[in-house]
Amino acid sequence: MNEKEVDLRDFIFEVLLHWRSIILCIFIGAIFFTACSFLQLHLSDKKAQTEQSPELTPSELEKNMTQAERTAVDQVLLNEDSCQKWKAYIEKSALMKLDTSKVYQSDLVYAVNTPKNPINPTAVYFDLLATNDIYKFISNKIDSLTMNDAQELIHVLNPSSFSAKQENCSFRITAIAATKKKCKALSNAIQEYIDKLHSLVADTYGAHDITLLQNSTSGMDSTALLQEQIDMRNKITLLNTETANLINNFSEIQTQYYQLRTSDDNASSDFLETKDKETPTTIQTLTRSALWGIVFAVIIYMFTMFFLYITNSKLRYTDDYIALYQIPVLGHIPSKRKPRTLFRRIDFWLYCKRDKRLYTTPVGQAIRLASTALLVIAQKKGLAQIYGISCGPISVSLENEIKNLLSAGNIGFGIIDNILYDADSIQMLCKVQDAVLIEKTGSVKYDEFQQSLGILQQQNINVIGMILIE
């Protein structure tokens, strides 16, 4: 017998044919490493929480502070809240966003004439224009303009003087915007709203005329608006300066009290920020652990399979027996594979790829081919009786199929199995002249096969070939 070498191709298919076990090991490795990582993170968090020193509550600290110290902390909190609100106002305010070097302003001057009505409704117009209805109306007319923006950009000026006995009285409306087009849009919306008010006031106070005396739009540099923007930012700067000075003069107990107050006020936002920061880290750690578990499981499984493969002492279906024992193989009888389910189809595809270099057919056809090859050899050598010899048991159905096929050529066939472990089988070898070895791979060891060959040589039995059963 020649030395048997490790076949890398055969080993790869041996691993692939156990793909169910590989997937199971991958899941076990990923779950195990993820669970260990999660447990480690949990224990670390618990240890960190245990090591943290207990903190005093704001109420406990407040008892140890004077009224002046509490007032200073309250003033800091009030300043910070005011700064946040003013900053939010500057960010959202359309007035604060205007470029003061180029502001467009529309001036609308209306005159109210009541020749036959003793009551002048100018004050009514002024009161109606001071409500939020005009801002709501204009914000609906102009896209991307909110009520707050309209309230900042439109101003109704109080008439200088009017009385109920005056026949004529006027009022003025101004609108400012960043572009001339938008300023015109505001002016048109105001005029439309005045026309709507005219019919409403006339129904209540009687017929009267309202005339647009002036409608002008022009660009200008608004120093008043610039000063208003500067004053707003100065207000925020002064609040920040005052806050910083107060904090610098805080005592240790004031600092603790201030930190607790701010943490209580921002508890929900801090929790969300902490969660957003910690959650990705935790997910990345668990994912990394799962990947390491998969790699570790695959390495362990491959090492185990390789160890089992090289230490396997049983006959393999894919071995080259001509090179190992100088015995011709008359046929390979595969196992019954019925690819009905998806898993079976995957196995069948792998078996076909593995046996690509072997001439494989269905089980019935393979038995017929092996029997025919045996029949041809027997007829050429003029043999009348052939025995099938095996180290293990041979199924009765296989024996009958081979016997029926050989009987067509008037050649007798018999089975002598378990020749290493059955005394009666050994005794039957005395009448055997020619034999064919029938061995089932995966159950017969190489040493047993070698020992059976030695017995046949001692008995001067001619081995004409062998048939392998998967």
Query: Based on the domain organization, do 216 and 347 belong to the same domain?
Result: no
Quote the tokens at residue 117: 């009505």
Say if strands 168-177 and 103-113 run parallel, antiparallel, or are unpaired: antiparallel
Angle formed at CA 466 by CA 420 and CA 385, multiple of 5 degrees? 85
In a domain? residue 157? yes
Q: Are 432 and 296 in contact (CB under 8 A)?
A: no
Closest CA to 123 of 148, 159, 147: 159
314 DSSP assignment: B
In a domain? residue 387? yes
CATH number at residue 442: 3.40.50.300
Q: Which of 220, 241, 271 is the last residue of a domain?
A: 220
For residue 178, give its domain range.
102-220
Query: Based on the domain organization, do 325 and 464 belong to the same domain?
Result: yes
CATH number at residue 127: 3.30.70.1130
Domain count within the chain: 2
Closest CA to 126 of 50, 225, 204, 194: 194
pLDDT at 272: 41
pLDDT at 338: 63
Q: Which residues of 178-199 are buried (b: 16+ CB within 10 A; e: fewer)?
A: eeeebbbbbbebbbebbeebbe
Query: Based on the domain organization, do 454 and 326 belong to the same domain?
Result: yes
In a domain? residue 414? yes
Give the residue ranges of the chain where pLDDT is below 70.
1-7, 48-56, 115-120, 158-168, 264-281, 336-341, 343-344, 347-348, 351-352, 354-360
d(CA 293, CA 295): 5
pLDDT at 271: 42
pLDDT at 274: 47
Give residue-wise pLDDT tens across range 53-72: 455 677 777 778 888 888 88
pLDDT at 269: 46
In a domain? residue 209? yes
In a domain? residue 329? yes
